[in-house]
Amino acid sequence: MTQRIIVSLLTVVIFLAGYGARVWTDPRQPVPPAPAALAREYAGQAAPASGAKAKNQPDRAKLVAEIEKLRPQIAAYSTQVDEIYGEFERGLVQILNPPQREKFAVNQKKRNDRDAKRLADRAPLSDEDIQKAQDRPMTSIYWMITVTPFLDMLTKEYGLDAMQQSETRALLALRRNKFIALFDATPHPSIRLSRLAPLIERVTPPAK
């Protein structure tokens, strides 16, 4: 099963590589959906028949109950993902020169401000928002396991020289290996719900 998952993840890398630069430079751009076969493998749900209208009407009460049940596992997974990201970013900062570090800090602030704004929003999530929040971990998996496409984007964004590229590639490879180990050890429902869990109060709309 693990081998099938890793092959599927590599399929995601190949499928999304052409979109990487645009997503990196403009996070507002939508990420294309993962191939249907991988979506069924990951989420354990059947894809809608060709030409059929998708019924994106999640069972909100069931989702809330599932998140509450899996909250310790979700929290543990999210904490470890943050640690893996943090370790990589601290290593990257050591590789960058002062002007590059300043640009990196600006980009980090933009990302943090965007995340804070999203978490501060209290409006109920639409059915589409809920679906996107469940699909979003697939994008995170792509960024965590890719090496060359991500390195190419960092090189373009920060103007990495040859030595910096070599050192950054080693950091990316280490990050990928740690994440694959984490992914393999984590129940998949916990991963699927990891982006939705912080928004749980917005899953159930307020009573009319």
Is 72 part of any domain?
Answer: no
**C-alpha 140 chain-centroid distance:** 2
Inside any domain, residue 63: no
Q: Of residues 115 and 182, which shows the higher confidence score?
A: 182
Residue 58 inside a domain? The answer is: no
| Residue 13: both structure tokens together | 């890398």
100-159, pLDDT tens digit by residue? 999 999 999 999 999 888 888 888 888 898 989 888 888 888 888 889 999 999 999 999
CA atoms of 140 and 127, how far apart (whole Å): 21
pLDDT interval class at 76 (50, 70, 90): very high
Q: Which two tokens stand for residue 108?
A: 């980090």
Q: Based on the structure, what is the number of domains in the chain? A: 1
Average pLDDT along the chain: 79
Rounded CA-CA distance 208/206 in Å is 6
CA 189 – CA 90 distance, rounded (Å): 29
For the cut 50, the answer to whether the pLDDT of residue 28 exceeds it is no
Output Rg (C-alpha) for the chain, integer angstroms: 18
Q: What angle do CA 46, 48, 51 make, to 5 degrees?
A: 160
pLDDT of the residue at 141? 86
Residue 49 lies in a domain: no
Give the list of residues 6+ apart from residue 187 with CB closer than 8 angstroms, or none: 70, 73
In this structure, which amino acid lies at residue 148? T
Question: 160 lies in a domain?
Answer: yes
- Alpha carbon separation from 67 to 59, 181, 195, 199 (Å, rounded): 12, 23, 11, 10
- What pTM, to 2 d.p., does this model score? 0.69
Task: Flag whether 53 is in a domain.
Answer: no
SS3 category, 74 = helix
Q: Is the pLDDT of residue 184 over 70?
A: yes
In a domain, 57, yes or no: no
In angstroms, the CA 140 to CA 134 distance is: 11
Tell me what pLDDT residue 148 has: 94
Q: Are the C-beta atoms of residues 66 and 189 closer than 8 Å to each other?
A: yes
Q: Is the pLDDT of residue 75 over 90?
A: yes
Q: Which domain, by its residues, includes 124?
A: 2-21+77-202
Residue position matching structure tokens 């081998």: 3
CA distances from 119 to 57, 127, 164, 189 (A): 23, 17, 34, 21
76 φ, ψ (degrees, to nearest 5): -65, -45
The per-residue pLDDT for 8 is: 52
In a domain, 198, yes or no: yes
